[in-house]
Structure 1
């Protein structure tokens, strides 16, 4: 599936840089639309990717639109609930359309679908810099294992994730620091099968301003990790932001200590690989969405929800918006406008999840919410609606929303 950079053509209709969910979704749609697409990635596939691996309802919707839901679900581990665990130990299981599939497998499936759709996959190939004619980007310079090659394209799509190097090189990076950070590992412990059967998300004062998770991958394998959605809020001299003092490995150790299933999972299990960390870009912020000849999509444009750290579904959704804009056949200005208008329609939902992020900073809100949800089917239904994107997550933790928890 991976062609070396020596097979890079001199030109194509669209060059997509980054073959994760956003880049592959873009390439699938464009190739099916009849365009000549080159998809490149700095890693050969399959490759690992730091992520919680959860497929929440928006990911299912996006996969269905891509015609990939059946193939993915044939490999994924189905899950019926998100288990919300509050600081005082209260728990409520929120039903939803859920599954878990390690990103190594998911991304490989999507990348293969792009190739089967007609895209050419070149890897390893790292984005070095854009090719310019006047003010418009007309291609890119790429570095492979042993060569540097240029390719011209009518459009370049950056789907390079949260690491800012490509954004900086293209002149679209507005914030180098990430929105958040996460640390995760895989643990095999067949004895925990059945004991951990939901997407457990845990809030606790010892994890503030973040949260912990354990997601079952099937066959006795579990994804365990911790995340901080607002990891770079502190201002230093000059007004620039810096990383908060929170140490992810210390938070991970705290998670193992304060949450019994995490402690038992790690004590009786075997780590598969090392703990790995990664940055997050959230709330459709931190990068310009486009410039002449260039569109930015996926986590590079901030497609991750700040409250939950989930971004797979929205990455694919932004990628499909990108493809639709290019397939619209307009000129540069119209294509960019169509794409940016699509992102603007998504932005209010990201802002709502930013409001809901108060739960991570103030874990007592999780205590209150879980306490009421255990007693009120209506509150549980609203929490399920947040998962399914039919309810406003911000309303659950607004001043008015908190007041309603005492009266309903």
Structure 2
């Protein structure tokens, strides 16, 4: 990978301002810059910032990286994985094949941000989005940006918000509809050379100990493992804003380690690299307005994470590219603001049924005995195993696995 470019000085205007240099923002910036658009990419943190994540690259992430022309670069640094290992409360297990890999987000995000710059985007960091600028009709026409203790007005034809799960920027832009997250996760890295070859799959573990969530261990490069726990539906609506349910992520993590022997061995034989870190999740394309005049919301800020699996990297890139394509189409066709926004929102609505199906499948996390039932039957049914692999590839409906019809098929196949 080429050396990171020096951060660009603060300009006075650009065609498109992208706020957030994670997968969604960097993907959008790369697509736009490759098409000749003058793009400024802004982030609160320097290039190569960390992000709390499982780091798993499932097939939709591979497809998005291929479209961006970056799959080869990413796979040269990632740890390839052949299976997702699904482990139920009784210790039952099924290995679901798929096109998979693991790369820490610090490295992935650095690579994606650099790729946007290589395409011509100007990267400015650390810099903070304060609020949108508006013209006399209320249309967003740029942003007030804080950098080095000074506030700058940056004019732009369009602003893309790709600011992740923390709702501060969404609120400042008047786009936040739900201040609380959809879920929460806790993650750590453990260097454990002795565990290499003993944990080879992206392991996802359901048990009463981690209910209503799940635990995971993913093998990463350099004899390192990503270990964590996640809880979706972690907040319940109270008073319109939501209130956190009674849960302690560290206690759930400790219970996961205590009750799952490979996790215990990993923590016993390995060395924790840094600290355990927690983060919110925004799922199901809910919780934020998708657009307003002059502004589009994309990535996890728009809720691009799947609630059942907590996977969001691929869909973040995909939604970022959809935002870029809507802007490019509008540019080619000299479309007005409303047409660009309509095109983008229609592309997200086309994705929404998939997110709703993953929300239905989220019942497995609350009722882990369902995982045992699915695993037990998949061990005896190649067709069911194929359908589970199809869930990874997004060719099978995850909701059907736990529907009444789906249960009847479990015993007929």
Task: Give the CA RMSD over aligned residues.
Answer: 1.0
Separation (CA, whole Å) in 2 of partners of 1:273 and 1:57:
29
Q: Does 1:102 align with 2:104?
A: yes
Residue in structure 2 matched with residue 83 of structure 1 by the alignment: 85
> In 2, are the aligned partners of 1:138 and 1:153 still within 8 Å (CA)?
yes
Residue in structure 1 matched with residue 152 of structure 2 by the alignment: 149
Q: Does 1:138 align with 2:146?
A: no
Matches within 5 A, 1:14-163: 14-133=16-135, 134-163=137-166
Q: State the SS of the aligned residue for 2:235.
A: coil
- Report Cα offsets for 1:44-63 as digits up to 9, x if no partner: 01111100000000000000
Q: Does 1:361 align with 2:363?
A: no
> In 1, are the aligned partners of 2:179 and 2:242 still within 8 Å (CA)?
no
Separation (CA, whole Å) in 1 of partners of 2:380 and 2:7:
58
Separation (CA, whole Å) in 2 of partners of 1:224 and 1:67:
29
> In 1, are the aligned partners of 2:92 and 2:375 still within 8 Å (CA)?
yes
Q: State the SS of the aligned residue for 1:74.
A: helix
- Report Cα offsets for 1:72-123 as digits up to 9, x if no partner: 0000000000000000000000000000000000000000000000000000
Q: Give the deviation of 1:2 after TM superposition.
A: 6.1
Separation (CA, whole Å) in 1 of partners of 2:179 and 2:51:
20
Separation (CA, whole Å) in 2 of partners of 1:337 and 1:58:
24
- Structure 2 CA distance for partners of 1:239 and 1:126, relative to 1, 3 Å: closer
> In 1, are the aligned partners of 2:7 and 2:122 still within 8 Å (CA)?
no
Separation (CA, whole Å) in 2 of partners of 1:92 and 1:247:
29
Q: State the SS of the aligned residue for 2:64.
A: helix
- Structure 2 gaps of 5+ residues are none
Separation (CA, whole Å) in 1 of partners of 2:131 and 2:206:
42
Residue in structure 1 matched with residue 193 of structure 2 by the alignment: 190
Q: Give the deviation of 1:135 after TM superposition.
A: 1.4
Separation (CA, whole Å) in 2 of partners of 1:362 and 1:4:
48
Residue in structure 1 matched with residue 262 of structure 2 by the alignment: 261
> In 1, are the aligned partners of 2:257 and 2:263 still within 8 Å (CA)?
yes
Separation (CA, whole Å) in 2 of partners of 1:399 and 1:287:
32
Instruction: From 386, 393, 397, give the equivalent of 2:391.
Output: 386
Separation (CA, whole Å) in 1 of partners of 2:317 and 2:241:
31
**What is the TM-score when the length of structure 2 is the normalising length?**
0.97
**What is the TM-score when the length of structure 1 is the normalising length?**
0.98
Separation (CA, whole Å) in 2 of partners of 1:24 and 1:4:
15
- Structure 1 gaps of 5+ residues are none
Q: Give the deviation of 1:130 after TM superposition.
A: 0.5
> In 2, are the aligned partners of 1:82 and 1:198 still within 8 Å (CA)?
yes
> In 2, are the aligned partners of 1:2 and 1:45 still within 8 Å (CA)?
no
Alignment length (residue pairs): 405
Q: Give the deviation of 1:145 after TM superposition.
A: 2.7
Separation (CA, whole Å) in 1 of partners of 2:123 and 2:297:
19
Separation (CA, whole Å) in 1 of partners of 2:368 and 2:167:
31
Separation (CA, whole Å) in 2 of partners of 1:87 and 1:324:
44
Q: State the SS of the aligned residue for 2:245.
A: coil
- Report Cα offsets for 1:17-76 as digits up to 9, x if no partner: 000000000000000111100000000011111000000000000000000000000000
> In 1, are the aligned partners of 2:40 and 2:123 still within 8 Å (CA)?
yes
Q: Give the deviation of 1:146 after TM superposition.
A: 2.8
